[in-house]
Amino acid sequence: MGDLFAVLWLISSILFVGGIVVCIVAKIRKKQLKKPLLVTGILLLISVISLFASSMNMTDYTVMNENEGNKFYQEIDNGKTVEDKTLKFKVKQTGESSTMGMVVLEVPGKKELDIILPNIKATRKIKKDDVVTVKLDKLSSLMGIKMIDASLDNN
């Protein structure tokens, strides 16, 4: 959805610049400016609103406490697909396995749910209680612990 607003912002911004040109030409030719100014103003409004909307971090799931974590875990248990979705969560616990090339972050909840991220500088900086947004890739399970391969969301 953020991409849609970004495209809308780009188009309305280009048209806004065109509207300014039309207003300048109308002023030089001493024609009425009411309609060009109105259209240009509307384009500016659309541009500002779409810029604001595209900059908002829209996520599919948000888990900030144990209750939200339990609901998210239950959806996974019920077979809901989480691949290609985004998850914003408060880190319950961190663990690092540099030999395996990954950083593990635990999502709040009664059952353990681990997010597996690549071991890079940005993921090694994450600490307990940080709020992180990730793009979920692949769900798996090991000895009853659900794990989701993911990557940091750059938004």
pLDDT in tens, 101-121: 788 888 888 888 888 888 888
Distance CA 92, CA 66 (A): 9
Report yes or no: 112 and 153 within 8 Å, Cβ to Cβ: no
Quote the tokens at residue 30: 């001493």
pTM of model > 0.85: no
Q: What mean pLDDT value characterizes the chain?
A: 84
Helical segments of the chain, H only: 2-28, 34-55, 66-77, 121-124
- The CA distance from 127 to 5, in Å, is 32
Residues of the chain with pLDDT under 50: none
Closest CA to 105 of 86, 92, 124, 118: 92
C-alpha 118/C-alpha 102 separation (Å) is: 5
